[in-house]
Amino acid sequence: MSQAELLHLPTTAPAPAGPVPASAGFPDQAEGPNVVAAAEIHPLTDATLALHEGQLSVPTYDRSALTPAVVHFSVGGFHRAHQLLYFDELAERRVSDGWGVVGVGLHSRTMKDALAPQDHLYTVVERSPDGERARVVGVMVDYHFAPDDPAAVVDLLADERTRMVSLTITDSGYRLDARTGLFDADDTDIRWDVAHPSRPRTVFGFLVEALDRRRRAGLPPFSVVSCDNMHRNGDAARAAVVGFARLRDEVLARWIADRVAFPSSMVDRITPHTTPEEREAVAQRYGVDDRWPVITEPFSQWVIEDTFSAGRPPLDSVGVRFVADVGRYELMKTRLLNASHCALGYLGSLAGHPSLDHVMADPVFARYVTRLMDAEVTPLLPPPDGIDLADYKRSLLRRFANPAIADGLPRLCRRGSTKMPHHLLPSLRQAIEENRPHGLLTLAVAGWFRYLRGTDEAGRPVPVEDVLAERLQRLARAGGTDPRPLLGETSLFGDLGRHEAFVAQLQEALIALDRDGVRATTTARTLAPAAQPR
């Protein structure tokens, strides 16, 4: 894959092996339109689309002709900037009208309240250092807040028109035991779903009840496509769904295991949280009063295993890559992009930086992440077919430095107890096992441990947003520069605490962070020769 392919989506149909249509469907407006007058700002609905088409791209296809074939659980900014845009491009290019999308929310009705008055339309603004482009996405045909009417969601999933269910429920949403990989049924909502299958509360209750109805009706099952950042996310989805089904009916569980496809996928597009100020800026610039626009970068990538239960959407015609095994692509993305996000998030926050572009503008951290990727992570990676890792890493550095995105560090730092074990610790563990250098990976762990104390190096509070925050912060503060209390959490660190040389190196990094500060410590370890582990 070329550098150009990695960074920008074409405005004409891409080759089947190419990446996504990031810029496809966006008008040529890199400089952007002038600020519009308040009287020219209009709500976003089907009825007002004609008023907006002069300022930004709007759907040209017949939305009423779309078939609700895809159901997506947990619609957030990333899903709306990524997967939905691919399906929108299918409709826009008239490739197929058979793949409309219905969103489902489980825990908050905020998204429904934002989208329903807009006929489920919303705006995507793609920002780069050269300017921005905006587009209204129309492929979402409906949205359900499941607690309002769980029966309607089960009926939707059981409908033979539903051919694919996709998920962005976060890593922890799969309820899998970190050590055994088995489904954890010790949950009030899970027990409710087993006892009340027609009124489920969890995504697994909905999926299994609908699959059971399809099985009994002689209908083919839908495919379940996880879009979460985790190792073999398709296997995780399978383990969770089959594990829940086994609580209900062993025969049903075997049918699901044998008949339902759970292709793993790799997704990639940086999508910060939309602030009220950005919503106002979208209104002022494009004249569209959108309750919840999405801000994203030009780059987009989606790789999916070519295993589907009832036919697959023709997403390869708009840049999705279908492969036999997504494993190498997933490792490339999680260990280079996601792990770098973790490292830069914690170290940059300690130094007082507010956003990722600020961190990358600091040469201390730009040098650090470059060497982290080149010297310690890349040697551990099997290269994916069709990807030049050197090009990919250069594209990451440019994406991280994009000032138009200004990805806030609190977003990168949240859920560390999930992200670090999935994204960074596997490289560290592999490097230790293979006796390879890992000092910069160790520094990233030290940055996390220091961040968990709840302040940056100037004493200002930093937000620790994590399901295990209370316990981890208590251990971090009690340990100080001694990492062993935190390393004792074997559900997160496994046996890393038994590697004495690593523990000593981690303790040295923590002492240096306190004594010398984060920038000096990072500089010293980045510029030091890549010494072999002791």
Tell me which residue of 228, 270, 222 sits closest to 99, measured CA to CA: 222
The whole-number pLDDT of residue 96 equals: 86
Residue 295's contacts (CB-CB under 8 Å, 6 or more residues apart) are: 125, 127, 271, 272, 274, 278, 405
Average pLDDT of the residues of the chain: 92
The whole-number pLDDT of residue 34 equals: 60
CATH of domain 35-325: 3.40.50.720
Tell me if residue 448 falls in helix, strand or coil: helix
Cβ 56 vs Cβ 27: under 8 Å:
yes
pLDDT at 179 over 70: yes
Confidence grade of residue 154 (pLDDT, cut at 50, 70, 90): very high
- 35-325 and 328-527: identical CATH topology: no
User: Distance from CA of residue 68 to its chain's centroid?
Assistant: 24
pLDDT at 391 over 90: yes
What are the tens digits of pLDDT across the range 446-468?
999 999 999 999 999 999 999 99
The whole-number pLDDT of residue 178 equals: 73
Backbone angles phi, psi at 199, to 5 degrees: -130, 60
Overall average pLDDT of the 117-128 stretch: 97
pLDDT at 277 over 70: yes
Residue 415 CB-half CA count within 13 A: 14
**Domain limits, the chain:** 35-325, 328-527
- H or E stretch covering 450: helix 439-451
Which percentage of the chain shows pLDDT scores above 90?
86
Overall average pLDDT of the 406-433 stretch: 96
Write out the DSSP string of 501-517.
HHHHHHHHHHHHHHHH-
Helix, strand, coil share of the chain (percent; to 5): 50, 10, 40
pLDDT at 142 over 80: yes
Tell me which residue of 413, 473, 475, 415 sits closest to 444, measured CA to CA: 413
The whole-number pLDDT of residue 230 equals: 86
Angle value at C-alpha 89, between 87 and 91, nearest 5 degrees = 75
Between 4-13, 279-288, 502-511, 521-530, the lowest mean confidence (pLDDT) is in 4-13
What are the tens digits of pLDDT across the range 15-36?
333 344 444 555 554 445 566 6
Angle value at C-alpha 239, between 99 and 467, nearest 5 degrees = 95
Tell me if residue 145 falls in helix, strand or coil: strand
Spatial distance between the Cα atoms of 122 and 139, rounded to a whole number of angstroms = 10
Confidence grade of residue 226 (pLDDT, cut at 50, 70, 90): very high
Confidence grade of residue 324 (pLDDT, cut at 50, 70, 90): very high
pLDDT at 530 over 90: no
The whole-number pLDDT of residue 172 equals: 85
Spatial distance between the Cα atoms of 61 and 498, rounded to a whole number of angstroms = 60
The whole-number pLDDT of residue 316 equals: 97
Q: Where are the beta strands (DSSP E) in 18-112?
A: 42-43, 68-73, 100-105
Write out the DSSP string of 463-493.
----TTHHHHHHHHHHHTT--HHHHT-HHHH
The region, left, alpha or beta by phi > 0 then psi within -120 to 50, assigned to residue 319 is: left
The region, left, alpha or beta by phi > 0 then psi within -120 to 50, assigned to residue 480 is: left
Backbone angles phi, psi at 53, to 5 degrees: -65, -15
CB atoms within 10 A of CB 225: 27
DSSP class of 401: T
pTM higher than 0.85: yes
The whole-number pLDDT of residue 17 equals: 33
Do strands 100-105 and 140-145 pair parallel, antiparallel, or not at all (unpaired)? Answer: parallel
Overall average pLDDT of the 277-299 stretch: 96
Overall average pLDDT of the 432-457 stretch: 98
Q: How many DSSP H helices and E strands does the chain contain?
A: 25, 13
The whole-number pLDDT of residue 39 equals: 63
The whole-number pLDDT of residue 533 equals: 47
Residue 26's contacts (CB-CB under 8 Å, 6 or more residues apart) are: 11, 57, 126, 133, 134, 135
Overall average pLDDT of the 495-499 stretch: 96
Q: Please list the residues that pair with 126 across neighbouring strands.
A: 133, 296
CATH of domain 328-527: 1.10.1040.10
Do strands 68-73 and 164-167 pair parallel, antiparallel, or not at all (unpaired)? Answer: parallel
The whole-number pLDDT of residue 38 equals: 65
Overall average pLDDT of the 73-97 stretch: 96
- H or E stretch covering 258: helix 250-259
Spatial distance between the Cα atoms of 218 and 104, rounded to a whole number of angstroms = 25
Do strands 265-268 and 301-305 pair parallel, antiparallel, or not at all (unpaired)? Answer: antiparallel
Overall average pLDDT of the 363-369 stretch: 98
Confidence grade of residue 1 (pLDDT, cut at 50, 70, 90): very low
Q: Is 203 exposed, middle or buried (0-12, 13-18, 19+ CB in 10 A)?
A: buried
The whole-number pLDDT of residue 177 equals: 82
Residue 233 CB-half CA count within 13 A: 28
Structure tokens at 362: 């600091």
Spatial distance between the Cα atoms of 89 and 25, rounded to a whole number of angstroms = 7
